[in-house]
Amino acid sequence: MKKRFLSLTLLFLFVLGMAMPVSAHEEIGKEIDLQAFAKVNEIINLGDSSDFLPSSGPAVSERVQELSLGPDYDLSLSVTQVAVCPIIAYVDDNGALQPGRLLSVKRYATFPANGNTFVGLSLTSAQLQSVENEIANWIASSDIADRPCYLVGWYVGTEVAYTANRPRYIDYWSTATGTAAGTKERRTINKTSGTERFFRDILIPDGRYDSYYNVGIAGNFYFIRTSNGQEGGFAFSGNLTVNSDKNPHQ
C-alpha cells in the first residue's frame, strides 16, 4: 500500500468533504479531544496493547534541563520517562474518519530520578521517516491496508516521581508549538512518595508536519513545605521534539 500522510489542513478539508461533524474543533492546530474527532467513534488503540509506560520501543535522543529543588529535604520531583506513539486516522466502513493510537510504533526516553523536571525526547527528520515507514508497514499487514490513512498527531505519556510529606495535587495540560495550552486537569496526591503518569492525545500543529515543532505535557506539583507551612510547587514538562534537525534557532 502506498503511504499517504497529509498535513492537518488537508486532513480537515478531507473531513469537511465527508460532511463529518466538526463543531467541537475550536481551531485547526489546537489540541482537541479526539473522541470529538469522529463524533460517533472513540479513539482506539491499534497494534500492541501492552503498557505504554514503560515502553520497549527504540529509545531516541534525550534532552535534559537541571532544576534546583529547594531547601526542604523531604521534597523532590523528577520526570523519569517520556514515551510517544503516532495517532493515525483511517476511513472506516461507514465513511467516517476513525483515529487510533498505534502503540506498537513507539519511542521513549528514560531519565534518573535525580531532580530533572524539564526533559524530552527528539526525532530528527530521518527518525520521523523511520516512524512513517513503521506506520506504513503496520498498515500494509493490517485489515485497513486498502484504506486512506493519515498521521494526525501523537499520544504522549509522561511519568514523574515525587516525594513530599504534605503533598496536595498535580495540575497538568498538553502543549504544542504555536497553540494555546490544552485544558488543565487536576489530580489529588495522597501518598508521600510515588510515581504518577499522565497521557494526552495531541494533534500535529497545523502547517508544521515537515518543520520543527514540539508537543508534550506540562504541569505543576503542589505541596505544603514542612519547614514553614507554606504552599510550594515544582514545574515539570515532558516533550517530544519533531524534526529536531530543522530547529530555526540553531
DSSP three-state, residue 98: strand
pLDDT digits (tens, 9 = 90+) for 88-98: 888 778 877 78
Residue 2 lies in a domain: no
Residue 209 lies in a domain: yes
For the cut 70, the answer to whether the pLDDT of residue 86 exceeds it is yes
What's the domain range around 79? 8-246
For the cut 70, the answer to whether the pLDDT of residue 228 exceeds it is yes
Helices (H) then strands (E): counts for the chain: 2, 12
Residue 1 lies in a domain: no
How many domains does the chain contain in total?
Answer: 1
Rounded CA separation 247/250 (Å):
6
Rounded CA separation 223/231 (Å):
6
Lowest mean pLDDT among 38-47, 116-125, 186-195: 38-47
List CB contacts of 35: < 8 A, sequence separation 6 or more: 41, 42, 43
Residue 203 lies in a domain: yes
**What is the full DSSP assignment across 167-230?**
EEEEEEEEEETTS-----EEEE--SSEEEEEEEEEEEPPTT-TTS-EEEEEEEEEEEE-TTTS-
CA 6 to chain centre: 19
List CB contacts of 153: < 8 A, sequence separation 6 or more: 34, 86, 87, 99, 201, 202, 203, 204, 215
For the cut 70, the answer to whether the pLDDT of residue 10 exceeds it is no
What's the confidence (pLDDT) of residue 65? 44
Residue 236 lies in a domain: yes
Residue 52 lies in a domain: yes
Element (H, E) at 83: strand 76-91
Residue 204 lies in a domain: yes
For the cut 90, the answer to whether the pLDDT of residue 119 exceeds it is yes
Rg, C-alpha atoms of the chain: 19
Residue 3 lies in a domain: no
